Structure 1
């Protein structure tokens, strides 16, 4: 592991979110060169959206802490190409998100996008999310597992990371630090169909996009099952190169301009 790496932090819950404070403590276990560039307001569910065609304001909130009226991806771009342009970060950590980013849900995750954008700029990108029990209210969350084991997860990834074209999605279980069974490197759950659906609000004519239930069946070797059933921290390496090369091979590199049924 590089001694005293430069670390850029972001999130999607906003610069004042408690999970970001947890992430700052994690990063300071690894380095004293820690910087924060995070959204000024909640940006959950924004995915990898960029703010194009609109001005972005950067506000200095404290020593090495900046808030931006944009998305997590915007924040990473600003952090790497503006705030830290003198020397780019070695690591970009995103989170710690309030609630999980497992399986196909991560495709809309601003937390995952922060790590992905960091990796696209050449840094080691890692997204952190902490499980919570939604039945006990959205504000009640125990950050203990992430706080206790977050730095160890980064160190473990760095021990075997060799600059692969990947970023990492990490989820912490609902468990005390002593109850965590270990760190498992697993694939993400591919659901049978998208978990998102429209839910009718109590206000006439209004609706929410939400997840009412988890699509089944679940793969016993994937992140969703391992985290919930084994109390393990899940680490999923995700490719930046998304091309299906098998399809490219099977197609021979081209498709007929006049396909079947056309003359």
Structure 2
């Protein structure tokens, strides 16, 4: 990749979230051609949602900073195909998310979706999240992200090949000197979905929530390495989701018999 690459930033916590300021600092250690296109409001958990059939608006906050009243995926499309249409970004960074995006949560993460859409648009997509203790939602420290963010992103840039893969990075909740290292790991596949029904105190209402982490956990996967070993985890994820092994296994298993529409 050429020096001083064009970088597009988004997140799912909103354009005013503190994590996106951290990500701007990380990006500016790598390049001075940095653009921000992020949601006007919190879009956590929206996954790869597109706001289809509804008008969107672009609000310019600064020379290279824009807010869109849509999802992270909407923001990347707006940035890559409109605002930067004549010179699209080579790198899309999404985050730094307030809280870890690990295990099967990558499927619903708006942060991961921002990086995924970046890769789908032809850029190198990298999602970054800062781990936190969700039992104390008012406490989150950005020290690890600030200290190691640029180092991790730069190494991904140097080692990545093509754009069929995007990357999910998580920083541990510890001080910078307590970080054990950078580990390339798979994401944890839970034994079942972690989401479940949770009744509200209001009659007839309920939440969908994560009440506990499904067990068992794989020692080598991101959950354990991040939360128990203070490792910065890097997980490469594929855009191609076809199960090639299953495709080969069931090829030829389906027999087609044409239906006669005029038969009784």
Structure 2-normalised TM-score?
Answer: 0.95
Runs of 4 or more consecutive aligned structure 1 residues displaced over 3 Å after TM superposition? none
Q: Over aligned residues, Cα RMSD in angstroms?
A: 1.1
> For structure 1, which segment, 79-88 or 162-171, has the greater mean C-alpha deviation from structure 2 after superposition?
162-171
CA distance in 2 between counterparts of 1:73 and 1:132 reads 24
Displacement of 1:228 in angstroms is: 1.1
2:229 paired residue number: 230
In terms of mean alpha carbon deviation, does 162-171 or 109-118 score higher?
162-171
Greater alpha carbon shift after TM alignment, 16-25 vs 248-257: 248-257
Is 1:123 aligned with 2:123?
A: yes
SS state at 1:226 partner: helix
The whole-number CA distance in structure 1 between the counterparts of 2:215 and 2:19 is 30
Asked if 1:56 corresponds to 2:86, the answer is no
Q: Which moved more, 1:91-100 or 1:154-163?
A: 154-163
- Residues paired across the two proteins, number: 257
Instruction: Quote how far apart the aligned CAs of 1:254 are.
Output: 5.5
SS of residue in 2 equivalent to 1:49: coil
1:251 CA drift (Å): 1.5
Say yes or no: does 1:184 pair with 2:187. no
Q: CA deviation at 1:208?
A: 1.0
Match of 1:112 in 2: 112
Task: Tell me what 2:247 maps to.
Answer: 248
Cα distance per residue 1:226-254 (max 9 Å; x no partner): 00111000000000000011111111255
Instruction: Provide, for residues 148-195 of structure 1, a one-character-per-residue CA deviation record: whole Å limited to 9, x for no partner.
Output: 101001111112111151000111100111111111000000000000
Partner SS, residue 77 of structure 1:
helix
Q: TM-score, normalised by structure 1?
A: 0.95
1:22 corresponds to which residue?
Answer: 22
Please, which runs of 5 or more residues in structure 2 have no aligned partner? 258-264
2:203 maps to 1:193: no
SS at match of 1:96: strand
